[in-house]
């Protein structure tokens, strides 16, 4: 009974680290105490384990506040009580040490010192070369102006800034890892918001993308998107699409670029990429509405590759989306043609399974072959194919709707 009572008391000292970690991008001194400017991680397992729990504290709050532009950092750990104050034999987790492992040196632990750093924000200017400027309408603030810049490691002060920025990856990308920014094959693209403070123009960090340039024999490169993050206060405003489109247009102008890919893309990234590539391709002659019903062609592949650095696989998805937009799905015959066209691509993995099964017949014992054949039941294949088709078309429709709203 005493053990259960002790367990209950100790349970009070467990904290959800996704709630305990308080992130903030600070523009004005009053933002520091404004809970409305606080946001929290989606993930903290890379620092605090799969349970995303810190033990040993009541009312734990881990403050990681950043100045909006330069990302100068305030780091503080606060709590109402600690387990060692009550239970001598139990040690709390080393919360502060875990955070120090990922936050680069140079942060302050003093709130007044941090607020004084806001006065230097006017000196912060975006790194690198301006690629694109765009505006977004806000009901609260009217027209807001954003800039996309390309930078590299040669920019003064960039290395330190990037080290502070990439700390956000740990909280918002599930399998994030830091990169070796010293490698000159990395390109960095940033989104900044321009805003006014006391009559001066300042810049706030919105998000960024890292791209690694791989060598392709004999004289080409293949830029591969490694990381992309729009910070939570700016999500849902279209900045990801603006950034990805600007990056594509930048590489399209480089003759030595073969095509642009992504490393282990998330589902959300694939949807964003589909949207951006459809926007870019819909103006190409080979993707005109009157050509789509003729099927996916070598001309489409070549034009997408030559003009927009889009590879065959991605061009195929663009074709399917544009063909869906151009198809009257209430016409049974046209809908059937479209369905078969998409399923023909989706059936690829099943065809591969059949080829593997043919090879297996030559080397597996009968009981082993039966086991593998059971996994590839034809009826199951058809059902899975139909499910895949419905999911794909649903995603395609969302992209078509989004493009229609932007027209």
Catalytic residues: 263
With a CB cutoff of 8 Å and minimum separation 6, the contacts of 18 are 40, 41, 42, 43, 44, 52
Q: 80 is written with which tokens? A: 């109402």
Q: Which two tokens stand for residue 329?
A: 């799905």
Strands 220-230 and 261-262: parallel
Instruction: Give which of 230, 71, 220, 211 is closest to 152, Cα–Cα.
Output: 211
CA distances from 37 to 24, 28, 137 (A): 6, 11, 20
**In whole angstroms, what is the distance from residue 361 CA to residue 359 CA?**
5
Indicate the SS3 state at residue 331: coil
Element holding 391 (H helix, E strand): helix 378-406
- The answer to whether 321 touches 356, Cβ cutoff 8 Å, is no
Q: Return the SS3 of 141.
A: coil
And the tokens for 375?
């996994």
Compute CA distances 187 → 1, 77, 228, whole Å.
Answer: 61, 35, 12
CA distance 216 to 254: 14
Cβ count near 123 (within 10 Å): 9
Looking up tokens 């190409």 gives 284
| Whole-angstrom distance, CA of residue 335 vs CA of residue 169 | 43
């Amino acid at each position: 009974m005493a053990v259960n009572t002790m367990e209950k008391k100790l349970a009070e000292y467990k904290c959800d680290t996704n709630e305990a970690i308080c992130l903030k991008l600070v523009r004005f001194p009053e933002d520091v105490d404004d809970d409305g400017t606080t946001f929290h991680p989606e993930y903290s397992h890379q620092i605090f384990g799969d349970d995303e729990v810190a033990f040993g504290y009541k009312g734990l709050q881990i403050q990681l506040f950043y100045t909006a532009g330069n990302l100068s950092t305030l780091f503080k750990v606060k709590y109402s009580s600690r387990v060692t104050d009550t239970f001598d034999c139990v040690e709390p987790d080393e919360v502060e040490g875990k955070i120090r492992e990922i936050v680069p040196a140079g942060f302050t632990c003093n709130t007044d010192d941090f607020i004084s750093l806001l006065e230097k924000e006017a000196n912060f200017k975006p790194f690198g070369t301006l690629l694109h400027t765009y505006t977004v309408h806000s009901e609260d603030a009217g027209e807001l102006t954003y800039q996309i810049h390309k930078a590299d490691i040669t920019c003064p002060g960039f290395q330190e800034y990037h080290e502070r920025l990439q700390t956000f990856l740990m909280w918002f990308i599930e399998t994030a890892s830091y990169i070796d920014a010293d490698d000159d094959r990395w390109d960095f693209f940033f989104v900044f918001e321009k805003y006014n403070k006391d009559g001066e123009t300042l810049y706030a960090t919105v998000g960024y993308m890292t791209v690694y340039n791989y060598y392709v024999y004999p004289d080409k490169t293949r830029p591969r998107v490694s990381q992309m993050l729009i910070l939570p206060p700016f999500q849902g405003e279209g900045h990801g699409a603006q950034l990805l489109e600007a990056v594509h247009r930048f590489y399209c102008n480089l003759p030595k670029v073969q095509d642009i890919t992504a490393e282990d893309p998330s589902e959300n990234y694939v949807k964003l990429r589909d949207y951006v590539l459809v926007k870019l391709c819909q103006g190409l002659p080979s993707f005109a509405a009157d050509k789509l019903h003729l099927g996916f062609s070598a001309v489409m592949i070549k034009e997408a590759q030559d003009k927009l650095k889009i590879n065959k696989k991605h061009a195929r998805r663009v074709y399917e989306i544009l063909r869906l937009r151009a198809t009257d799905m209430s016409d049974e015959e046209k809908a059937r043609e479209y369905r078969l066209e998409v399923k023909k691509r989706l059936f690829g993995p099943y065809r591969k399974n059949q080829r593997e099964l043919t090879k297996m017949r030559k080397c597996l014992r009968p009981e082993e072959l039966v086991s593998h054949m059971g996994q590839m039941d034809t009826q199951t294949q058809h059902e899975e194919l139909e499910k895949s088709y419905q999911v794909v078309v649903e995603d395609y429709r969302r992209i078509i709707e989004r493009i229609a709203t932007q027209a």
